Amino acid sequence: MKRVIITFLVFSIVLITLAINPSFTTEKLVAGASDTMAAANRQYETSQYLLASQAYQQLVDQGIVHPNLFYNLGNAYFKQGELGKAILNYRRAQLISPRDADISANLNLCRGQKVDRLENENNEGIITYLAGFTRQRLTLNELAILTLGLWFLVTILLMILITPLLKGNWKESIQYSCIILGLLLILCAVSLGSRLYVDHNSPDGVIQVKQVDVSSAPGGQSVKQFTLHDGAEVTIIEQRADWVRLALPGGKLQGWAPSNAVGIIQ
Protein backbone atom coordinates (compact mmCIF):
# COMPACT_ATOMS: atom_id res chain seq x y z
CA MET A 1 0.00 0.00 0.00
CA LYS A 2 2.78 2.30 0.83
CA ARG A 3 4.21 1.52 -2.54
CA VAL A 4 1.03 2.71 -4.24
CA ILE A 5 1.05 6.03 -2.44
CA ILE A 6 4.72 6.61 -3.07
CA THR A 7 4.34 5.80 -6.75
CA PHE A 8 1.46 8.17 -6.96
CA LEU A 9 3.38 10.93 -5.17
CA VAL A 10 6.36 10.60 -7.46
CA PHE A 11 4.10 10.59 -10.47
CA SER A 12 2.27 13.76 -9.40
CA ILE A 13 5.48 15.61 -8.59
CA VAL A 14 6.91 14.79 -11.99
CA LEU A 15 3.72 15.89 -13.69
CA ILE A 16 3.48 19.18 -11.83
CA THR A 17 7.12 20.10 -12.37
CA LEU A 18 6.65 19.34 -16.02
CA ALA A 19 3.63 21.64 -16.17
CA ILE A 20 5.25 24.53 -14.29
CA ASN A 21 8.57 24.42 -16.03
CA PRO A 22 8.21 26.28 -19.30
CA SER A 23 11.42 24.85 -20.68
CA PHE A 24 9.58 22.07 -22.47
CA THR A 25 7.99 24.67 -24.72
CA THR A 26 10.13 25.75 -27.59
CA GLU A 27 10.61 29.50 -27.73
CA LYS A 28 10.31 31.28 -30.99
CA LEU A 29 12.59 34.27 -30.59
CA VAL A 30 11.88 37.23 -32.81
CA ALA A 31 14.97 38.73 -34.34
CA GLY A 32 15.62 42.37 -33.46
CA ALA A 33 12.69 42.60 -31.05
CA SER A 34 14.87 43.51 -28.10
CA ASP A 35 16.58 46.25 -30.10
CA THR A 36 13.25 47.68 -31.21
CA MET A 37 12.02 47.74 -27.65
CA ALA A 38 15.22 49.34 -26.38
CA ALA A 39 14.91 52.02 -29.05
CA ALA A 40 11.30 52.62 -28.06
CA ASN A 41 12.34 52.95 -24.43
CA ARG A 42 14.85 55.62 -25.45
CA GLN A 43 12.19 57.46 -27.41
CA TYR A 44 9.96 57.38 -24.38
CA GLU A 45 12.75 58.73 -22.22
CA THR A 46 13.11 61.69 -24.56
CA SER A 47 9.36 62.29 -24.42
CA GLN A 48 8.72 61.09 -27.98
CA TYR A 49 5.72 59.17 -26.79
CA LEU A 50 4.03 58.79 -30.14
CA LEU A 51 7.07 57.19 -31.74
CA ALA A 52 7.61 54.99 -28.71
CA SER A 53 4.02 53.76 -28.72
CA GLN A 54 4.22 53.00 -32.46
CA ALA A 55 7.33 50.93 -31.94
CA TYR A 56 5.88 48.99 -29.01
CA GLN A 57 2.65 48.47 -30.90
CA GLN A 58 4.57 47.08 -33.84
CA LEU A 59 6.11 44.44 -31.56
CA VAL A 60 2.71 43.62 -30.10
CA ASP A 61 1.27 43.29 -33.59
CA GLN A 62 4.01 40.79 -34.42
CA GLY A 63 2.54 38.58 -31.73
CA ILE A 64 5.15 39.22 -29.07
CA VAL A 65 3.82 38.82 -25.58
CA HIS A 66 5.60 40.13 -22.52
CA PRO A 67 4.28 42.02 -19.51
CA ASN A 68 7.03 44.62 -19.74
CA LEU A 69 6.14 45.31 -23.36
CA PHE A 70 2.46 45.80 -22.60
CA TYR A 71 3.30 47.88 -19.57
CA ASN A 72 5.62 50.21 -21.49
CA LEU A 73 3.08 50.52 -24.29
CA GLY A 74 0.46 51.44 -21.70
CA ASN A 75 2.79 54.11 -20.33
CA ALA A 76 3.42 55.55 -23.79
CA TYR A 77 -0.31 55.72 -24.47
CA PHE A 78 -0.99 57.28 -21.10
CA LYS A 79 1.54 60.03 -21.80
CA GLN A 80 -0.36 60.83 -24.99
CA GLY A 81 -3.63 61.01 -23.12
CA GLU A 82 -4.93 57.78 -24.67
CA LEU A 83 -6.52 56.48 -21.50
CA GLY A 84 -8.42 53.57 -23.06
CA LYS A 85 -5.42 52.17 -24.88
CA ALA A 86 -3.30 52.56 -21.75
CA ILE A 87 -5.84 50.65 -19.66
CA LEU A 88 -6.13 47.94 -22.31
CA ASN A 89 -2.40 47.33 -22.32
CA TYR A 90 -2.06 47.45 -18.55
CA ARG A 91 -4.85 44.88 -18.33
CA ARG A 92 -3.00 42.68 -20.82
CA ALA A 93 0.19 43.04 -18.80
CA GLN A 94 -1.71 42.18 -15.65
CA LEU A 95 -3.08 39.00 -17.21
CA ILE A 96 0.46 37.73 -17.62
CA SER A 97 1.97 39.25 -14.50
CA PRO A 98 -0.89 39.67 -12.06
CA ARG A 99 1.08 40.50 -8.93
CA ASP A 100 3.18 43.31 -10.41
CA ALA A 101 2.76 46.39 -8.20
CA ASP A 102 3.75 48.84 -10.94
CA ILE A 103 1.10 47.57 -13.30
CA SER A 104 -1.68 47.79 -10.75
CA ALA A 105 -0.51 51.25 -9.60
CA ASN A 106 -0.64 52.64 -13.13
CA LEU A 107 -3.90 50.89 -13.83
CA ASN A 108 -5.45 52.46 -10.74
CA LEU A 109 -4.13 55.88 -11.73
CA CYS A 110 -5.71 55.52 -15.18
CA ARG A 111 -8.98 54.31 -13.72
CA GLY A 112 -9.07 57.37 -11.50
CA GLN A 113 -8.92 59.63 -14.54
CA LYS A 114 -11.57 58.13 -16.73
CA VAL A 115 -14.83 59.93 -17.31
CA ASP A 116 -17.42 57.21 -16.75
CA ARG A 117 -18.13 56.13 -13.23
CA LEU A 118 -19.41 52.67 -13.85
CA GLU A 119 -21.45 50.71 -11.36
CA ASN A 120 -19.53 49.08 -8.59
CA GLU A 121 -18.32 45.53 -8.87
CA ASN A 122 -20.42 44.61 -5.85
CA ASN A 123 -23.39 44.07 -8.07
CA GLU A 124 -21.66 41.39 -10.08
CA GLY A 125 -22.51 37.75 -9.75
CA ILE A 126 -20.24 35.36 -7.88
CA ILE A 127 -18.79 34.02 -11.10
CA THR A 128 -17.68 37.41 -12.39
CA TYR A 129 -16.46 38.34 -8.95
CA LEU A 130 -14.34 35.24 -8.53
CA ALA A 131 -12.94 35.61 -12.01
CA GLY A 132 -11.98 39.21 -11.30
CA PHE A 133 -10.63 38.40 -7.85
CA THR A 134 -8.30 35.67 -9.04
CA ARG A 135 -7.30 37.61 -12.14
CA GLN A 136 -5.54 40.19 -10.00
CA ARG A 137 -3.63 37.52 -8.10
CA LEU A 138 -2.96 34.51 -10.28
CA THR A 139 -2.50 33.80 -13.95
CA LEU A 140 -4.77 31.23 -15.49
CA ASN A 141 -1.95 28.68 -15.55
CA GLU A 142 -1.08 29.27 -11.93
CA LEU A 143 -4.69 28.81 -10.98
CA ALA A 144 -4.94 25.64 -13.07
CA ILE A 145 -1.83 24.14 -11.48
CA LEU A 146 -2.90 25.18 -8.01
CA THR A 147 -6.26 23.51 -8.46
CA LEU A 148 -4.74 20.35 -9.90
CA GLY A 149 -2.14 20.25 -7.15
CA LEU A 150 -4.84 20.56 -4.51
CA TRP A 151 -6.76 17.75 -6.18
CA PHE A 152 -3.66 15.52 -6.04
CA LEU A 153 -3.07 16.43 -2.42
CA VAL A 154 -6.64 15.69 -1.44
CA THR A 155 -6.57 12.30 -3.15
CA ILE A 156 -3.29 11.41 -1.48
CA LEU A 157 -4.77 12.27 1.88
CA LEU A 158 -7.87 10.21 1.07
CA MET A 159 -5.69 7.25 0.18
CA ILE A 160 -3.81 7.56 3.43
CA LEU A 161 -7.11 7.75 5.28
CA ILE A 162 -8.34 4.52 3.68
CA THR A 163 -5.34 2.50 4.86
CA PRO A 164 -6.02 1.22 8.38
CA LEU A 165 -2.42 1.82 9.44
CA LEU A 166 -3.23 5.22 10.96
CA LYS A 167 -4.21 5.54 14.56
CA GLY A 168 -5.58 8.27 16.84
CA ASN A 169 -4.17 11.82 16.52
CA TRP A 170 -2.63 11.27 13.14
CA LYS A 171 -5.83 10.11 11.65
CA GLU A 172 -7.73 13.07 13.10
CA SER A 173 -5.31 15.69 11.86
CA ILE A 174 -5.23 14.15 8.41
CA GLN A 175 -9.01 14.15 8.39
CA TYR A 176 -9.13 17.87 9.20
CA SER A 177 -6.49 18.78 6.66
CA CYS A 178 -8.39 16.75 4.13
CA ILE A 179 -11.58 18.70 4.82
CA ILE A 180 -9.82 22.09 4.67
CA LEU A 181 -7.92 21.24 1.52
CA GLY A 182 -11.13 19.86 0.04
CA LEU A 183 -12.93 23.17 0.65
CA LEU A 184 -9.99 25.06 -0.81
CA LEU A 185 -10.08 22.74 -3.79
CA ILE A 186 -13.76 23.46 -4.35
CA LEU A 187 -13.10 27.21 -4.16
CA CYS A 188 -10.21 26.99 -6.60
CA ALA A 189 -12.12 24.76 -8.94
CA VAL A 190 -15.08 27.15 -8.97
CA SER A 191 -12.70 30.06 -9.57
CA LEU A 192 -10.99 28.23 -12.38
CA GLY A 193 -14.32 27.36 -13.88
CA SER A 194 -15.55 30.96 -13.58
CA ARG A 195 -12.36 32.23 -15.10
CA LEU A 196 -12.60 29.88 -18.05
CA TYR A 197 -16.28 30.65 -18.46
CA VAL A 198 -15.80 34.43 -18.31
CA ASP A 199 -12.76 34.38 -20.58
CA HIS A 200 -14.52 32.26 -23.09
CA ASN A 201 -18.02 33.73 -23.03
CA SER A 202 -17.64 37.36 -21.98
CA PRO A 203 -14.11 38.71 -22.23
CA ASP A 204 -13.45 42.22 -20.99
CA GLY A 205 -13.02 45.16 -23.29
CA VAL A 206 -11.95 48.78 -22.98
CA ILE A 207 -13.37 51.76 -24.83
CA GLN A 208 -10.55 53.25 -26.88
CA VAL A 209 -12.08 56.34 -28.40
CA LYS A 210 -12.91 59.65 -26.75
CA GLN A 211 -16.61 58.94 -26.92
CA VAL A 212 -18.80 56.21 -28.37
CA ASP A 213 -22.55 55.86 -28.62
CA VAL A 214 -23.92 52.47 -27.69
CA SER A 215 -27.06 51.60 -29.64
CA SER A 216 -29.77 48.99 -29.39
CA ALA A 217 -28.71 47.13 -32.53
CA PRO A 218 -25.71 46.92 -34.84
CA GLY A 219 -25.85 49.42 -37.66
CA GLY A 220 -26.14 53.16 -37.52
CA GLN A 221 -29.91 53.43 -37.73
CA SER A 222 -30.84 52.09 -34.29
CA VAL A 223 -31.67 53.91 -31.09
CA LYS A 224 -28.75 55.36 -29.17
CA GLN A 225 -28.98 53.99 -25.65
CA PHE A 226 -26.07 55.49 -23.79
CA THR A 227 -22.65 56.99 -24.31
CA LEU A 228 -19.34 55.70 -23.06
CA HIS A 229 -16.02 57.51 -22.86
CA ASP A 230 -12.36 56.72 -23.16
CA GLY A 231 -11.19 54.07 -20.73
CA ALA A 232 -14.56 52.61 -19.74
CA GLU A 233 -14.18 48.90 -19.00
CA VAL A 234 -16.98 46.73 -20.31
CA THR A 235 -17.81 43.09 -20.93
CA ILE A 236 -18.04 41.77 -24.47
CA ILE A 237 -21.03 39.50 -24.91
CA GLU A 238 -20.98 38.93 -28.63
CA GLN A 239 -18.67 39.77 -31.51
CA ARG A 240 -19.67 40.26 -35.12
CA ALA A 241 -17.82 41.58 -38.12
CA ASP A 242 -17.92 45.32 -37.39
CA TRP A 243 -19.91 45.41 -34.21
CA VAL A 244 -19.57 44.13 -30.71
CA ARG A 245 -22.27 43.71 -28.15
CA LEU A 246 -21.11 44.96 -24.78
CA ALA A 247 -22.47 45.15 -21.28
CA LEU A 248 -21.56 47.36 -18.36
CA PRO A 249 -20.56 45.83 -15.01
CA GLY A 250 -23.73 44.73 -13.29
CA GLY A 251 -25.17 43.74 -16.64
CA LYS A 252 -28.05 46.20 -16.61
CA LEU A 253 -26.97 48.34 -19.53
CA GLN A 254 -25.97 46.69 -22.75
CA GLY A 255 -25.91 47.48 -26.42
CA TRP A 256 -23.94 47.49 -29.63
CA ALA A 257 -20.90 49.56 -30.44
CA PRO A 258 -18.60 49.65 -33.46
CA SER A 259 -15.86 47.11 -32.88
CA ASN A 260 -13.06 49.57 -33.66
CA ALA A 261 -14.09 51.63 -30.63
CA VAL A 262 -13.53 48.75 -28.24
CA GLY A 263 -10.29 46.93 -27.48
CA ILE A 264 -10.66 43.35 -26.28
CA ILE A 265 -8.25 42.27 -23.63
CA GLN A 266 -7.85 38.56 -24.34
Partner 1 sequence: MKFRWLPYVLVLCFCVWVLPVHAQAPAPITASVDRDTLSINETIQLTVTILTNSLAPVLPDMPALDDFEIVGTNSGSQLNIVNGQISSSNSYVYILQPRKSGELTIGAFSLTLNGQIFQTEPIKMTVTKDQSSPPGGQTTKPGNGQQPAEVNGQDFFVDASVDNPEPYIGQMISYIVRFYQAANVVGQPYYDAPKFTGFWSVKETKQSQGTDTLNGRPYQVSELRTFLFPTAAGQVTIDPAKLTMQGGFFEPDINLQSKPITVNVKSLPDGAPEGFKGAVGQYEIKANMSTTQGKVNEPLTLKITLSGKGNFNNLPEPIWQDIPDWRTFESKASAQSTVQANQIQGSRIFERLLVPSKEGKYSLPPVQYIFFDPIKGEYQTIRTQPVQITILPGQAEAPSPQAVLNPQADVKQLAEDIRYLKPVPSVLAKAESTNPPLTVLLFYWLAWGLPLLFLAGHLFWEKYRQRLESDSGWTRRMQARKNARRTLEAGRKGSDDVYHAVALALTDFLSDKFNQPVAGLTSQALAELLSQKNISTELSQRVQDCLFKTEVGRFAPEAGNPTYAENLLDEAEKLIDELENRLP
- Which residues in this chain contact partner 1 in the complex, by CB under 8 A? 1, 4-5, 8, 11-12, 15, 19, 22, 25-30, 33-34, 37-38, 41, 44-45, 59, 62-69, 71-72, 75, 78-79, 102, 105-106, 109-110, 140-141, 144-145, 148, 151-152, 154-156, 158-159, 162-163, 192, 196
Our CB check for partner 1 shows the closer of 106 and 208 to be 106
- Tell me how far apart the alpha carbons of residues 47 and 51 are, in angstroms, rounded to a whole number: 9
Closest to partner 1 by CB, 110 or 212:
110
- 224's CB contacts (< 8 A; 6+ apart) are 213, 214, 215
CB closer to partner 1, 185 vs 261: 185
Taking the complex as a whole, the smallest distance from the CB of residue 213 to partner 1 amounts, in Å, to 29
Could you tell me if residue 236 is left (phi over 0), alpha (psi between -120 and 50 degrees) or otherwise beta? beta
Question: C-alpha distances in angstroms, 35 versus 20, 56, 61?
Answer: 29, 11, 16
For the stretch 176-180, contacts whose Cβ atoms lie closer than 8 Å and that sit 24 or more positions apart, written own/partner, are 178/154
Shortest Å, Cβ 85 to partner 1: 13
Judged by CB, which is closer to partner 1: 2, or 252? 2
C-beta separation of 133 from 141 below 8 A:
no
- DSSP secondary structure string for all residues of 71-134: HHHHHHHHHTT-HHHHHHHHHHHHHHSTT-HHHHHHHHHHHHH-S--PPPGGGS-HHHHHHHHH
Output the smallest distance, CB 153 to partner 1, in A.
Answer: 9
Query: Residue 74 or residue 255: which is nearer to partner 1 going by CB?
Result: 74
Q: What minimum distance in Å lies between the beta carbon of 192 and partner 1?
A: 8
* d(C-alpha 30, C-alpha 235), whole Å: 33
Residue 65 CB, nearest approach to partner 1 (Å) = 4
**Cα angle at 69 between 67 and 73, to 5 degrees?**
115
Q: Among residues 14 and 217, whose Cβ is nearest to partner 1? A: 14
Q: How far is the CB of 129 from partner 1 (least distance, A)?
A: 20
